[in-house]
Chain A
Amino acid sequence: MIIRTPKSYDLKETSVTKEDIYFNRRKFLKSSLAAAASGFLGFCPSKNLQAEVQQLSYKTTKWGKTLKPSSFEAITSYNNFYEFGTDKSDPKKNSHLLKPKPWTIEVAGHVEKTGVFDFDELVEKKTLEERIYRMRCVEAWSMVIPWIGVPLNKIIKKLNPSSKAKFVGFTTLKDPTQMPMQNTNILDWPYVEGLRIDEAMNPLTLLAVGLYGKTMPNQNGAPIRLVVPWKYGFKGIKSIVKIEFLSHKPPSSWNIQAPQEYGFYSNVNPNRDHPRWSQKKERRITGQSGFAALFDDKIDTLLFNGYAEEVAHLYKDMDLIKFF
C-alpha cells in the first residue's frame, strides 16, 4: 500500500468543476439549444480556424492529482491575451490569425547554445509531461489547468547558460498581421516578461505547449508559453519567440504599463492588495455558467498560490510587500 502525505500543491479542493461527461443527452440538448439560440439571435459562433489540434503523448505527474480542472470551454473562452483584444472573449474570436506552425525561437545572451531554434528542436516530444496547476489571475479569479509541457529547467540545462546569467527574459511574437491589436498602442509591444534564474530553474516552472492532452489552442498562447504557477497569470508570457539570458533584470510589460500596480515578482500574495481590489479571495472559474457561477462562494487565495512549500525558499529574506 502506498501512503501519500498530501503536499501543499494538492490541497483539497472543495468547489471544483464537475468533469463534463461528453456526448450525454443533456450536453447534446444544451449545445443544440445554444446553437439554435445563437443562430436565432444572429450571433456568429466563432469558428476556430487554428492549425489542426493534435493529440500529444505525455507522461502524467504527481502535480495537481487532486485538483479538478476547469472545463476546456472555460480555459479557451475566457482569456487575457491583449494582442487579440482586451475583452476576455476576444482571443477566442480573433486568434485564428495566429500561425503557430512553423515556429522558431531565438536563444540569446549569456548562454552556450545561442541561435534560432525550430520549435521541435527546443521542445523534444518525448520529454512532455502533464502538470495540473492552479492559475491565479491578478484580477482575482482563478482556474485549474491541465498543462502539457516541459519543465523550463530541462531546456535551460540543455542550452547551458554561463554564470553571468542571473535573469531570463522572454519575448512574445510581434507581428500585427497575426496579432491585430499590435496595430494599436494600448501596450508597449511586443509583450515581454522575465524571471530570476533561480525562479526559472525551479522544478514547477513550465514551458507549456498544450493543455487537456492536445496542442496549445491559439488563444492560450500557441505554440509555446510560460507557466509559473505561484505567480499571477500575466507572468505566463504567451507565443514566445525569444529567450534571453541576462545579467540584469529584464523589463516586463505590465510593470512598464503600471509600475505601482504590477511588480516584477508578482508572486500570488493575499496580503498585498492591488490598489483597486483585494487579493484575499478569488473566484474559481470552473466552467459553470449562469446563476450557479454567479453565486458560487469565493475561495481564499493562498500565499504563492498554494505552492509555498516548493518556492518560499526563493524569497527567504525578501519583504514580499515591498518586492511585490
Chain B
Amino acid sequence: MIFRSTAKLILFIIGLAPLTWLVTALTCDSIYGTMFMSVDPVQKLNRELGDWALIFLMVTLSVGPLSKILKRKNLIALRRMLGLLTYFYAVLHLTSYIIIDLQLDWHEFVKDVTKRNFIILGMTSVVLLTPLALTSNNISLKILGSKSWKKLHYLVYPAAIIAIIHFFMMIRADYHRPIMYASLLLALLIYRIWTIEIKNTKIISRFRSKI
C-alpha cells in the first residue's frame, strides 16, 4: 500500500515536470532573454503540449502489457493517473491553441472545427477522452459496473488512433515521429488482440474439455 502511494506521488511529480519546465522556460526567457522556447513560443508551447499528451497516452496504453510482461500487477495502479495526465496535457494543448494561438478568435475556432480536418480529428480525440477522464474514479466504476466501465474505456484506442492521424496530418515533410507513435500503437493493438485470442482459446478449450 505504501509502495503504491509513494509510486503515485512520484508519478504525479514526474507528470507535472513537463508543464513545470515549460513555465520555467518561459519565465527564464521573459526575465533573462534566454531562448529556451525560441523566438516563437506560441508554436513551441502548443507543440510541446501536444507531444506530451500523446506521450502520456502511449505510456498509459503500455501499462497493461508491461505489467503482464514484467509480471508486476501493481503497475496497473498507476494507470489511472497516467490517463488523467494524458487528458490534462490534451486539454492544455487545446487551451493553448484557443487562447494563445487563436487569441480567442471564436469565429476562427468555429471555422477550424468545422472545416479543417486535422483540427476536427484532434477535437474528436479530446471528445472521446472526456468520458474516460470523467469516469476515472471509484464512484463511476461502482455506478457503471466493471464490465461496462471497461467497455467504455476501450474508447482509448480510437482516441489514440485518431490523435496519431491528427499528428500525421500536421506534418509537412518528415513523418518519422508520427510513424514511431503509430508503430508503438500497432504493437500494443497486436498484443491486445493476441492476448484476447489466447484467453478465448483457453475458454474454448476449457469448454471443450468439459464436454
Interface residues of chain A, those whose CB is within 8 Å of chain B, are 26-27, 29-31, 33-34, 37-38, 70-71, 73-74, 77-78, 82, 86, 88-89, 139, 141, 184, 186-187, 257-258, 275-278, 280, 283, 285-295, 297-298
Contacts and interface: CB of A to CB of B under 8 A. Distances in A.
Contact of B34 (A30, A86, A293): A30
Interface string B113-156: 00011110000000000000000000000000000000000000
Interface residues of B, number: 34
Contacts of A277: 112, 116
A289 B100 CA distance: 14
A250 B155 CA distance: 48
Interface in B24-45: 26-43, 45
Contact of B173 (A71, A82, A295): A82
Contacts of A82: 173-174
A66 B117 CA distance: 40
A258 B173 CA distance: 9
19 contacts: A29-B32, A37-B32, A74-B39, A78-B40, A82-B174, A86-B172, A88-B38, A89-B38, A186-B174, A278-B108, A280-B108, A288-B39, A289-B33, A289-B34, A289-B36, A293-B39, A293-B41, A293-B42, A294-B37
Nearest to B35: A289
Contact of A276 (B27, B42, B118): B118
Contacts of B103: 297-298
Contacts of A280: 108
B59 interface: no
Contacts of B39: 70-71, 73-74, 77-78, 285-289, 293
B28 A294 contact: no
